[in-house]
Amino acid sequence: MPRKWISVLLLLQLSCHFSPGSCGKVLVWPTEYSHWINMKTILDALVQRGHEVTVLTSSASILVDPNKPSAIQFEIYPTSLTKDDFEDLFTRIISKWTYMPKYAFFTYFSLMQDIIWEYNDCIQTLCKEVVLNKKLMTKLQESRFDVVLADAAGPCGELLAELLKVPFVYSLRFSVGYTIERYSGGLPFPPSYVPVILSELSDHMTFMERVKNMIYVLYFDFWFQTFTEKWDQLCSKALGRPTTLFELMGKADIWLIRTYWDFEFPRPLLPNFVFVGGLHCKPAKPLPKEMEEFAQSSGENGIVVFSLGSMVTNMTEERANVIASALAQLPQKVIWRYDGKKPDTLGPNTRLYKWIPQNDLLDIRRML
């Protein structure tokens, strides 16, 4: 059995009763876009093995669609936020991240801080509307869930688990500065040879780069102290006793890290940190006829699939033309997921698609 599915088996063990043949009830606190796409893979596997999965989602969710036919159950709670609020927020986050000039490290993250704080405020609003909703919480308690599966990028799952008195499992790619993993997961982080993520440093640092790395660590430590203040207040209010967000996060039984260990710089790990990169990969299906013909016409040069992820479908005309011009110089055929105006510099080797079957395309042996 592939190593990446070991974590799923551990999750099954948590969600099952001790008696043989019985299955458990899983409550899910999701986030959006690629985070949800990855988590749904785990949920589908749990359902196939007979577990009862309930996703707790708001009426403002972007991708979590309870109207699609699914064996997964959905508990929808009302919120003061709207879907447009969320889409606008994520659009501004991506736009700022993409088009912000190349400032120095501290200037860059200082400018990013405001919009990340806004995202945090939205997630906290959703959390309040759940944990302070007595009718909903009573329903969840009566459902007698066995485990909570949550995305650490959007806090609240750990608070729900504490209120319901059940264990919980995290899904996470990384937190800024590895702050959550260090403070809540107890993950060792020697700054002398482990570079802070997004710092553009490597594991081969000069003395001054190590000093810089240490300053980055202290910077994000301070960053997250201000980040967690409001969460500490909410958690304490909901539980009726003093506590902190990091304290609740530290109770996670398993951390599912959404990447491969060999993509990371060498660093100490703990047994409950399990790398599950590639869980979303499935056996390829046949491509649409027109796309298949275009891919096969590439000859020995192969093809290039270009996509900027689930959140980026459009960009400025200037940026699109720069990318199109660069792709036009490649000898390969290019399949580009893009939903904007056709760039003037688009080459004959490039085909635009609003949506691409990425999993199926990546099965092509001539893929670069």
Q: What is the 3-state secondary structure (H, E, C) of 238-266?
A: HHCCCCCHHHHHCCCCEEEECCCHHHCCC
Task: Name which of 15, 240, 65 is nearest 137 in CA terms.
Answer: 240
Q: Is 235 helix (H, G, I), strand (E, B) or coil?
A: helix
More confident residue, 98 or 66: 66
| Per-residue pLDDT, 313 | 65
Quickly name the fold that domain 289-361 has.
Rossmann fold (3.40.50)
Reported as a single tens digit per residue, the pLDDT across 105-128 is 667 777 777 777 888 888 899 999
| Per-residue pLDDT, 41 | 86
Instruction: Measure the CA–CA gap between 229 and 263, rounded to whole angstroms.
Output: 33
Q: Which residue ranges make up each domain of the chain?
A: 3-275, 289-361
Angle at 104 between CA 98 and CA 107, to 5 degrees: 80
Span 272-284, average pLDDT: 84
More confident residue, 195 or 12: 195
Instruction: Measure the CA–CA gap between 75 and 164, rounded to whole angstroms.
Output: 16
Q: What predicted TM-score, i.e. pTM, was given to this entire model?
A: 0.79
Classify residue 5 by its DSSP letter: G
Task: Give yes or no on whether 3-275 and 289-361 have one common fold.
Answer: yes
Residue 367 has pLDDT above 60, yes or no: no
Reported as a single tens digit per residue, the pLDDT across 83-92 is 888 778 777 7
| Per-residue pLDDT, 197 | 84
Span 137-145, average pLDDT: 94
Residues 6+ apart with CB under 8 A from 349: 327, 328, 330, 331, 332, 333, 334
Instruction: Measure the CA–CA gap between 319 and 304, rounded to whole angstroms.
Output: 19
* CATH superfamily membership of 3-275: Glycogen Phosphorylase B; (3.40.50.2000)
Give the helix ranges, DSSP H, for the chain: 6-15, 34-48, 83-99, 105-131, 134-143, 157-164, 179-183, 207-239, 245-249, 289-296, 317-328, 358-361
Across 7-21, 39-53, 174-188, 238-252, least confident range: 7-21
| Per-residue pLDDT, 11 | 57
More confident residue, 248 or 314: 248
| Per-residue pLDDT, 165 | 95
